[in-house]
Amino acid sequence: MGGTVVFNYATWAVRYPELAVSVAQPLAQEFFNEAQMYCDNTPTSIVCDLTQRTTLLSMMTAHIAALNAPIGGQPASPLVGRISSASEGSVSVQTQNDYPPGTVQWFQQTKYGSAFWATSAQFRSMQYVAGRVPAANPWGRFGPR
């Protein structure tokens, strides 16, 4: 265990060039700061391997950037949620947002969030840690009378 991940914009930009074109370093840093709310970046994180944690945080930073940053000269989509139906003639789009942030549907709004969800599955499983078994004597220290 130990250590935290420090955001490296140059590395993130190489991995996500389609986002780096539109997301400057200061904004990407803010998205990284937000990503740490979804993936613990403390020395006691369940993701002990710093390389894995770096990858997860980069994916989450990309997800947040794709949801919020203007990409390719276009502003971020004002739509919230998944597109539940669309038509072409007279253009009609309906969205559905019946899920809280942090659920699988929220992550699946982008390919980056979907990758994060799939990759982080191993850390979302319950992990049983057995505690001490108490040695109880119902008669106290003197035994039965």
pLDDT at position 64 over 90:
yes
- Answer with the residue of higher pLDDT: 15 or 101: 15
User: pLDDT at position 71, please?
Assistant: 72
Which pairs from 41-44 meet CB under 8 Å and 24+ separation?
41/4, 41/5, 42/4, 43/1, 43/2, 43/3, 43/4, 44/1
Rounded to an integer, the average pLDDT of 99-107 is 74
- Answer with the residue of higher pLDDT: 77 or 92: 92
User: pLDDT at position 26, please?
Assistant: 96
Tell me the C-alpha to C-alpha distance, in Å, between residue 119 and each of 7, 39, 53, 56, 92.
19, 12, 11, 8, 34
pTM over the 0.85 mark: no
